[in-house]
Structure 1
Amino acid sequence: MLGDMMGMMGKLKETQQKVEDTKKRMSTVLIDEKSSDGLINITVTADRQIKTIEIADELLEDKEQLEDYLILNLNKALNRASEIYDKEVAAVASEGMPNIPGMDMFK
């Protein structure tokens, strides 16, 4: 019984480290979001850090249109980043969780 508990604790600690490693790795996963007409391109990391914003010169002439493009494409990029981040972290966390009835939090 004690051996099982120690093994479970070791596995939980290992899983916690894998989750932390995955979270760090998410800073290297790049997500590009380009507007359908190609006038703006945004790159973010999976941990939701903006890396680049490329804006076509023609958008610089219309402040309101530029603001709309930025909001729309930043939200798309950040939503995709969140989905990837959550999926990756949950997958690693659920791999290492012991099979305890009623504890399917990560599925």
Structure 2
Amino acid sequence: MAAHLRSSELRSDGPGASFHTGSTAHHAVEPRHDPHESEKIAFARTVASELNALPEGSFGGLILAAPARLIPTLRDALAPLPARNLIGTVEHDLVKVPDEELWPHLEAVLPAGIHPARL
């Protein structure tokens, strides 16, 4: 999975080179974007696309949990139906959190008395 690769492993080849006029020296040119960040944004858009494809009534509420910098990408990519069902956001990377430890992170954004089985 691309998320587990180093940035250098995501590029197709080495950095380009630049030459200065009147000099034989050349310097490596690093890309202006981070390949990891590009992969994360693409993944966020894929998640939003999957949510957008769900039929009406498939879920009662939606909590977006992602690193803070990806929440705007997810929100912007949501269609009106999933966006209307958005209960809240958890701006934290929960990828490595075991399933049994997720609830405390999510319950803070749920209205009082709501249990995940009723969503």
TM-score, length-scaled by structure 1: 0.31
Higher helix share: 1
Higher relative contact order at CA 8 Å, sep ≥6: structure 1 or structure 2?
1
TM-score, length-scaled by structure 2: 0.29
